[in-house]
Amino acid sequence: MATVVERERKYSGDAGFRLPDLTGCGGVETTSDATAHDLDAVYLDTPDLRLARSGFALRRRTGGHDAGWHLKVGAAGGARTEYQFPAGPDDAAPPPELAALVRAASRGGPVAPAARIVTRRRERRLLDGAGRTLADVAEDSVESHDLVSGERQAWHELEVELVDGDEAVLDAVDARLRAAGALPVPVSKSQRALGARLAAARPAPADPGAAPVLDYLTAQRDTLIGHHPGAWGGDEDAVHDMRVAVRRLRSTLRTFRGLWDRRESEELRAELSWLGGRLGPVRDTQVLAARLAAAVRAEPDELVLGQVAARLAERFAADLAAALDDLRAALGSDRYTDLLRRLDALVEGPTARTVDARWVARRVRRAVRRADDRLDRALTAGADDVALHEARKAYKRARYAVEVREPAVGGPAAKLVDRLKELQDQLGAHQDSVVTREVLREQALRAYADGENTFTYGILHARQATVAERDVPALVRTARRARRRKVRRWLKR
């Protein structure tokens, strides 16, 4: 299976639109002759269009230079990840490799043909002076057929996709196309083909008072699902973003408990904790491996005695392989898809009570106040590692609570989010030092048992301890900045 990152922009153009001369745009020297392609694609989805609603497009396409099974993840008009797999002569179902990647979006349910899109394409290459292809420009005449509702549509559009160029090429071509009358299109072909059914599938508007909380939860659910394919493959950024989405979901369910049935929301929090427990070891191992590899490289050669880097790399490779196996088992389980369906019911269904903006604001203030109290107790207790870690978790909850109000409040809330993140990051650096020291201690014991020199592990441990001690005064200063009246006075509204 091939994986590519597609960076393209889409435009509308009626039948009378004429492609302008694009030479001079971002280094374009010449344009190739047009090549014609006939493309025929069948898009698959669940009956309630969960894939399309999550920004996924799964298709089997014939024609063109990349015929086969394709899965696109992400919004049209920006960077999208595309997974490509060869198609058999008569396979009607996606290959298992792609089925695993859409498991979250489909909620584990079956997919079936949802739309057929036939495209007559005229494609040109934009070349620089050395003959490199900077981008491809496609003029498409499109006919779509919703295979469930029967609706048919026809339209013309342009696609500009980067090949060896950069965003400057897209920007320059964008300006030229707009000047010629082209208009940006914010949706993909499949989204347009399914537009009527997608509109009907949208959940009813939430109660206005609860809307900020439910909108935030919905965004985190969508982030979790959107990063499922990358996390399945062990991509570091995807695992991180998926883990953060899980944390935000759990935190929001806790901060605003009372909006939903208490038993259901607490059970869902427990299930999210289970999922986070499978994502955490993957991410932590990736971070620790990079952190300690950099620490060893930073030491003078004369202080690195023995095969320290190799031993650490060997340990983390084994730990990461085991953690990835556990994560894939979780992501492929019925427990995982049941969690997602329960999350859908909570964020898309009615709340257990009616609330107003003041109710939401009170809970945001309470989350911030509790975090302050946790940090004060930790510092009073002599900056105990466990107490500081609890303060860090409290500030995460406070930051996520403030993020709920950020769209409505704007700049003042964004400022507090930044201050709380700075504080959270410093507490996180302290906790990273604690964890790193424990790993070094364990590794030193292993090395000693194997008859190896443990000197370097001791050096690295001491440096981490020094970092932790130096963090505390900086932490106090950052806490004062985060508590300034001008940063927080909006919280009373």
The tens digit of pLDDT for each residue in 32-46 reads: 999 999 999 999 999
| Integer angstrom CA distances of residue 385 from 283, 430, 431 | 21, 8, 7
pLDDT of residue 77: 66
pLDDT of residue 456: 95
For β-strands 2-12 and 79-85, DSSP reports them as antiparallel
- Whether the model clears a pTM of 0.95, i.e. scores above it, the answer is no
Query: CA 421 to CA 245: how far, in whole Å?
Result: 15
Q: Compute the average pLDDT of residues 43-62.
A: 95
**Confidence label for 242 from pLDDT (cuts 50, 70 and 90):** very high
Query: CA 355 to CA 430: how far, in whole Å?
Result: 38
Residue 223, number of CB atoms within 10 A of its CB? 16
Q: Are 13 and 181 in contact (CB under 8 A)?
A: yes
**Residue for token pair 């935030």:** 216
Instruction: For residue range 251-294, list pLDDT tens digits in order.
Output: 999 999 999 999 999 999 999 999 999 999 999 999 999 999 99
Instruction: For residue range 138-174, list pLDDT tens digits in order.
Output: 999 999 999 999 999 999 999 999 999 999 999 999 9
Q: Is the pLDDT of residue 119 over 80?
A: yes
Instruction: For residue range 126-139, list pLDDT tens digits in order.
Output: 999 999 999 999 99
Q: Is residue 114 classed as helix, strand or coil in its secondary structure?
A: strand
Q: Which of 204-208, 343-347, 373-377 comes out lowest in average pLDDT?
A: 204-208
pLDDT of residue 154: 95
pLDDT of residue 382: 77
**Confidence label for 330 from pLDDT (cuts 50, 70 and 90):** very high
Query: CA 99 to CA 112: how far, in whole Å?
Result: 12
Residue type, 361: A
Q: Which long-range contacts (CB under 8 A, 24 or more apart) does 446-450 make?
A: 446/311, 446/315, 447/306, 447/311
Share of the chain above pLDDT 90, in %: 84
Query: CA 131 to CA 121: how far, in whole Å?
Result: 23
**Confidence label for 13 from pLDDT (cuts 50, 70 and 90):** confident
